[in-house]
Structure 1
Amino acid sequence: MKDVCMFEFVSDVLNLKQMDSAEQGRQPLSSTGAGVVPISRVLPDVANESEPHIGGTLDRVGMSGVELVLRLRDAAGEVFRTPARADAAVSLDNERVKGIHMSRLFLSLNNRLADAELSMSVVNEILQDFVKTHADMSSNSYLTLKYEHSMKRPALLSDHSGWRAYPVTIQSAYQQGQFRHQLTVQLTYSSACPCSAALSRQLIQQAFERSFGDRSELSHDEIFEWLGTPDAILAVPHSQRSHADVTVELEEGVDEFPIETLIDYLERVIATPVQTAVKREDEQEFARLNGANLMFCEDAARKLKAALDSYEGVKDFRVEINHLESLHPHDASAVASGSRS
């Protein structure tokens, strides 16, 4: 009984001491084998409090695939939100620092993009935040944003329209006090094979010869009627869905990402972008456009290269073409690049 009373008395004394120390702004106390000692409220920080076993600088350290929501404004002035993923990093220039502060990168991204529309100035602020929050260890910073940019597209002839989602990648860097920005957009279009078209025309000519080879004169009506028969289109050129991944490095004087203007410009050049809403008149016009714009992958690459050579605000560019062949189990590809620096 005496032991129980003594235990309760010691416990009460410890509790009173802890309450008194909390009121005076001191750390709480804990009973150990060595007596009463303070309980630390400071969380361990391994990255700051220890050195690496193997020293050395690193080009980039950070996070990849960070989930975000971006606020964007379309050509009509409407603001919309879209999910995105980000890669964020800084250089590790101090070889004695064990690790960077990952949470600071995340919080900068999260805070800057929470309510602000995506713009080049916001991206620049984020890059500067990355360096400022790592001033003792980093001088360069990097940010990549990947998302799908929604644009409403009208039908070719009818009064209908629909939405397209264009994959977009923004790659930005802050190095030696200078900003660099690259913009990548992916176009999807139809490519009809010139060789297949020529072979198809030859077969149609042979069919015409079989039907009228023994006649020296034909009336307009006879020819017109024959052109509407299956024999007049017994062969069609193969076409396929195709992709153009276009990357441009923006000049220093450019102050906004020209996402929609670049997409519009390149689709006009390629001439056969895939469609959304399609009625019969739209499909017929699409067939006409394919026939008027036959192209190998080389043709597509050259068309876009020539177009980018004269596009304002672009310092360097790279075009990668992939035609997802309907004739082969493999794809046809081409790459073109240019520099105006």
Structure 2
Amino acid sequence: MSPTRENVVRIMPDIANEARPVAAGQLAWVGMGEIEAPVRIASPEGGETVAAARVNAFVNLHRPDVRGIHMSRLYLHIDRHLGAEPLSAASLRRLLRDFLDSHAELSDRAMVELRFDYLVRRKALISDNTGWKAYPVTVAATLDRTGFELELGVRVAYSSTCPCSAALARQLIQEQFRQDFGTDRPLDPDAVLRWLGSEQGIVATPHSQRSHADVKVRLSPHAAELPVIDLVDTIEGALKTPVQTAVKREDEQAFARLNGQNLMFCEDAARRMQAALNADERVTDFWIRASHFESLHPHDAVAVAVKGVEGGYGPRG
């Protein structure tokens, strides 16, 4: 009787283990990029949310005589860990330890990177409305013989009103006032009030633009959680003019006031964030890029700030 498919044991080739590389050499990183996976995130209120993430998973290959690593093992670890518990420093450390344990004799360094949007419900400035706001988040963790490192990145959108443009607009308004009211007759307060509320009076306005703050921080080795919302709140609190969600007229007016009270060049924005992060003991190093997408011209105004730790982030992060 010929053997059936069920009772035949197939021995499949394992080229990664059996074959030798054509050219020997150690490799800094080998792994998988853009893995699609859900990630569980603890919310500040004590609940959880789930986000769709893109994951890069890598180990080094320090054996020059071995052709490849076991990529399927990396994928299975990602699948098992990210679905088991909310993302944290401790969960990422365990994930990387499993990367290395499953590649014993091959690797002594492991890295994982995640990108996802953190969706948060934000309150309006004045009205009782709320709305959803998505913050792009990046998380990168490495584990090797020197220890565990964890980096957190966020992008925050905000409004920036140019101080130079504001000064030039004020000058034009002053000139229009002198032209309309002169200097040799008494002023009628009601007439001035009407003039200030007219387009004829406010003949110029400063230009504002939607801007991005891209922030990367290196967290203390003792960090237990991923302070995503804390970092976002720190950046938005420093800038004062984060973009809004639900907006009624009273909210728009409050937003206009915030812009008028927080005129800033990109240099001002970067320094505000720099000062706020310097005061955070959880942050051991950081890289900040303030990008103002100018409405005056087609190129951007950009400023970069770093903490300045030796061996830390460079000008491009």
Shifted more, 241-250 versus 74-83: the winner is 74-83
Hey, what does 1:276 align to over in structure 2?
245
2:212 counterpart of 1:243: yes
Paired residue for 1:10?
none
Q: What does the per-residue CA deviation read over 1:144-201, in whole Å, with 9 as the maximum and x for residues that have no partner?
A: 0100001110000000000100000001000215100000000000000111101100
2:260 aligns with: 291
Helix, strand or coil for the counterpart of 2:307? strand
Aligned residue identity for 1:205: Q
Question: CA–CA distance in 1 between the matches of 2:40 and 2:221?
Answer: 24
Asked if structure 2 preserves the Cα contact closer than 8 Å seen for 1:50 and 1:98, the reply is yes
SS at match of 2:103: coil
Tell me what 2:235 maps to. 266
1:166 to 126, 129, 135: 135
Amino acid at match of 2:166: A
Is the contact made by 2:111 and 2:142 (CA closer than 8 Å) also made in structure 1?
Answer: yes
Q: How far off its partner does 1:79 sit? A: 1.4
CA distance in 1, matches of 2:265, 2:185: 38
* 1:68 aligns with one of 31, 37, 45: 37
* Higher alpha-carbon Rg: 1
CA contact (8 A) 2:289 2:304 kept: yes
Corresponding position of 1:150: 119
RMSD: 1.4
Any gaps of 5 or more consecutive residues in structure 1? 1-14, 23-27, 29-39
Map 1:171-210 → 2, pairs under 5 A: 171-210=140-179
Partner amino acid for 2:268?
D
- d(CA) in 1 for partners of 2:309, 2:279: 9
- Separation (CA, whole Å) in 1 of partners of 2:197 and 2:291: 35
Q: 2:201 aligns to what SS in structure 1? A: helix
Candidates 68, 79, 86, aligned match of 1:117: 86
- The answer to whether the Cα contact below 8 Å between 1:186 and 1:244 also exists between their aligned partners in 2 is yes
Distance 1:288 1:166 in 2: 24
Measured in 2, the distance between the counterparts of 1:331 and 1:214 equals 42
> Is 2:280 the partner of 1:322?
no
User: Aligned partners of 1:158, 1:236: CA distance in 2, in Å?
Assistant: 26
- The reply to whether residue 79 of structure 1 matches residue 48 of structure 2 is yes
Say which SS state the counterpart of residue 231 (structure 1) adopts. Answer: coil
Conserved? CA contact 1:315–1:339, under 8 Å:
no
**Structure 1 residue 96, shift from structure 2 partner:** 0.4
Deviations 1:213-265 (A, max 9, x none): 14342132222122112122111100000000010000111111110111111
Separation of aligned partners in 1, 2:161 and 2:189: 30
Q: Which amino acid aligns with 1:193?
A: C
| Offset, 1:339 | 3.8
Moved over 4 A (4+): none
The alignment partner of 2:200 has SS state of helix
1:108 alignment partner, one of 72, 77, 87: 77
TM-score (norm 2): 0.94
Aligned residues: 308
TM-score by length of 1: 0.88
Partner of 1:37: none
Question: Greater helix share, 1 or 2?
Answer: 1
